[in-house]
Structure 1
Amino acid sequence: MSRLADLATMLRPQRAFVAATLLLAAAVWLPPLTLQRPTWRYLVTFDVTQSMDVPDQLLDGVPVSRLAMSRAAARLALARLPCGSQLGWSVFADYRVMLLMAPVEVCANHEGLLAALEAIDGRMRWANASKVGKGASWVVRTARAIDPQTRAVFLTDGHESPPLRSASETPPVQDLTPGEIGGWLIGVGGDLPQRIPRHDDDGRDLGFWAAEDVVQRFGPDTPGTAHEHLSELREPHLRALGDLLGLGYRRLSHPSDLADAMLDPALVTRAPVPTDLRWLPALLGLAVLVGRFVPEGWRRRTRA
């Protein structure tokens, strides 16, 4: 600050005012400059099957469903992704993925992305089946079809319904190369099996799924738990799918965990991004004015 004060002292008063005026004018009129910056491009897919309605998550100390926790995590990720990054939404049920919103730039389209996110709920489900393994493969295919640089994120509890016939059963992935589309499988859910809420197509509460309502699997070579009417996070299954598809796995213990995963430097793409640098001349102009009006006695004390 003392150097700026000395500079302002050497200038005539009107010159200091002219310099400050020019700098502040530049702060108003300076257009964005295009700079190479780190960005990320993701298609985020939400499991909207009924096991995701299990309220075994805590958000600000309040029990919420797995899907609500997923939305909260995506909301935070949207806020943390830097300008120039792109984000899109899709949903999963049965074995298919439905694209809701192709990836768009997060700053220019923040309100639209947020509005679309808040509308995602179980009423978008078109089937009660939940073939997570096949769905994960279609998450990758959908991202690849959008753009080879699009990464995939799949938020799910891993609950297969009906359960797989064998622990060795895997989805057909002959057309996929592991790791060609990077991204994450994000596990959502608790470790304790919970009753699965049952809803009709309009979201009305019908109680809970009972043991006789669903297919059960028994035996040492079956992945079923013999309590398929209950649901917990199927973490080993999701880890195995991640290895098969070349996706990372992370458990969603806190909403920030999703953003932490998505900001992985290994998945970054450097891209030209219009960058607002108007703060720089504004700061310099303010510094010149402050230096001009600093009392002489204060400047002497700082030099001493």
Structure 2
Amino acid sequence: MSFAARVRGLFAGPHWKIPAACLLLAAAVSMPSVAVPRDTSSVIVTFDITQSMSVEDVAMDGVPTSRIAFARAAMRDALGQLPCGSKVGWGAFTGQRTMLLLPPVEVCGNYDALLSSLERIDGHMRWTNWSRIAEGGVYSAVRAAQDVGHGAAVLFVTDGQEAPPLLHADTLARDINPGGVKGWLIGVGGDEAVPIPRTDDNGRRMGYWRAEDVIQVPEQDRAATTGPSHEELSALQGHYLESVAGHIGFRYRRLTGADSLRDAMLDARLAHREPVPTDLRWCPALLALLLLIWRFLPPVARSRAKLGAPPGG
């Protein structure tokens, strides 16, 4: 008997379900990923690494920790909750510039690399001690997203501390979101103003900033109810960040944990449709399982199933 005849015999008899299931299982093992159009997001997460982000006024598991460490921990947990196909990249902000550290890459295929690079984002990377968040940091973060393209959005994590302070007479000198890049400003920090740790060029603590060490708001620019300026202290500037977000077409939320970042990155406004490699091996594997169940189902149960009678009737 020829090989072709034997194969036909396997599938022609009553036991065809077993070789068919074997073929389906082989397909499940060897089947490559299939590009399926899906709504996905591409986000550049930018961390403020200025010295005020070293203030320890937030807590993890009841232990006080710095704002930047809290933001990194929340981002680490959020990464594990993103669906495959999502793309995430890193940026760092200080002075008047956001530097793109890593362009957005697919989360599942680059998970370990994303975690490893995330842990290295801190104040040791800082190249200056001043900060212009709105006009400088967010503007260059938007430009970086435009340069990356492919619908990249911005997630900017900061406490909102402008240094030198932003005066009431100051206005944004340029439209900082000309391309309509979508994104979120994420505020981190406590509500009570506390001293800002001072560090040297190597990241070593040198006490705290004092009032005479920093530029204060001039008396003529202060409202009568605010009292003396204390720019050596820092608290979350939530109202200011919310105002900036509204001005540039972003949204604002306070960082309370991984859910804050995950929900922002899964915001439907940030999604765009593109082919995403999708694992469909479960389809032939499921069919193989159903065939095997059908093959080894007791004869009585098969006959009852055909008649529509309940098994115990």
TM over 0.5: yes
> How far 1:293 sits from its partner (Å)?
2.5
Tell me the distance in 2 between the aligned counterparts of 1:163 and 1:128. Answer: 13
* Alignment partner, residue 275 of structure 2: 272
Matched, 1:281 2:284: yes
> How far 1:218 sits from its partner (Å)?
4.8
Instruction: Describe how 1:194-233 pairs up with structure 2 within 5 A.
Output: 194-219=194-219, 221-222=221-222, 226-233=229-236
Q: Does the 8 Å contact 1:157/1:234 carry over to 2? A: yes
Higher-RCO chain (CA-CA 8 Å, sequence separation at least 6) = 1
* Alignment partner, residue 137 of structure 1: 139
Tell me the distance in 2 between the aligned counterparts of 1:77 and 1:182. Answer: 19
Q: Does the 8 Å contact 1:40/1:268 carry over to 2? A: yes
* Alignment partner, residue 5 of structure 2: none
SS at match of 2:39: strand
Q: Compare CA radii of gyration and give the structure with the larger one.
A: 2
Tell me the distance in 2 between the aligned counterparts of 1:155 and 1:89. Answer: 11
The alpha-carbon distance between structure 1 residues 216 and 175, as it changes in their structure 2 partners (threshold 3 A), is: closer
- Once the two structures are superposed, what CA deviation does each residue of 1:182-218 show, in whole Å capped at 9, x if it has no partner? 0011001110111211111211111111222111215
SS at match of 2:46: strand
* Alignment partner, residue 193 of structure 1: 193
Residue type of the partner of 1:38? D
* Alignment partner, residue 54 of structure 1: 55
**TM-score, normalised relative to structure 1:** 0.88
Q: Does the 8 Å contact 1:49/1:93 carry over to 2? A: yes
* Alignment partner, residue 86 of structure 1: 87
Matched, 1:259 2:268: no
SS at match of 2:16: helix
* Alignment partner, residue 163 of structure 2: 161
Matched, 1:302 2:311: yes
| Paired residues, number | 292
* Alignment partner, residue 128 of structure 1: 129
> How far 1:84 sits from its partner (Å)?
2.4
Tell me the distance in 2 between the aligned counterparts of 1:146 and 1:294. Answer: 56
- Once the two structures are superposed, what CA deviation does each residue of 1:15-39 show, in whole Å capped at 9, x if it has no partner? 1211211211111122222111111
> How far 1:102 sits from its partner (Å)?
1.3
Residue type of the partner of 2:70? M
* Alignment partner, residue 242 of structure 2: 239
- Once the two structures are superposed, what CA deviation does each residue of 1:44-79 show, in whole Å capped at 9, x if it has no partner? 110000100111112233222110111122223322
* Alignment partner, residue 147 of structure 1: 149
The alpha-carbon distance between structure 1 residues 108 and 169, as it changes in their structure 2 partners (threshold 3 A), is: same
Tell me the distance in 2 between the aligned counterparts of 1:132 and 1:175. Answer: 11
Tell me the distance in 2 between the aligned counterparts of 1:45 and 1:121. Answer: 11
The alpha-carbon distance between structure 1 residues 159 and 199, as it changes in their structure 2 partners (threshold 3 A), is: same
Give the CA RMSD over aligned residues.
2.2
Tell me the distance in 1 between the aligned counterparts of 2:171 and 2:150. Answer: 24
Q: Does the 8 Å contact 2:182/2:269 carry over to 1? A: no
Tell me the distance in 1 between the aligned counterparts of 2:107 and 2:173. Answer: 33
* Alignment partner, residue 35 of structure 2: 34
Tell me the distance in 1 between the aligned counterparts of 2:103 and 2:120. Answer: 15
- Once the two structures are superposed, what CA deviation does each residue of 1:213-255 show, in whole Å capped at 9, x if it has no partner? 1112154744887221111000111112112211111111122
The alpha-carbon distance between structure 1 residues 148 and 171, as it changes in their structure 2 partners (threshold 3 A), is: farther
Q: Does the 8 Å contact 2:145/2:181 carry over to 1? A: yes
Name segments (4+ residues, structure 1) moved above 3 Å. 218-225, 294-301
SS at match of 1:153: strand
* Alignment partner, residue 7 of structure 2: none
Q: Does the 8 Å contact 1:137/1:245 carry over to 2? A: no
**TM-score, normalised relative to structure 2:** 0.86
* Alignment partner, residue 70 of structure 2: 69
Q: Does the 8 Å contact 1:93/1:128 carry over to 2? A: yes
Tell me the distance in 1 between the aligned counterparts of 2:50 and 2:162. Answer: 10
Tell me the distance in 1 between the aligned counterparts of 2:287 and 2:273. Answer: 29
Residue type of the partner of 2:266? L
- Once the two structures are superposed, what CA deviation does each residue of 1:143-194 show, in whole Å capped at 9, x if it has no partner? 1122162111110000011112x224233224643x7000011001110111
Gaps of 5+ in 1: 1-10
> How far 1:298 sits from its partner (Å)?
5.7
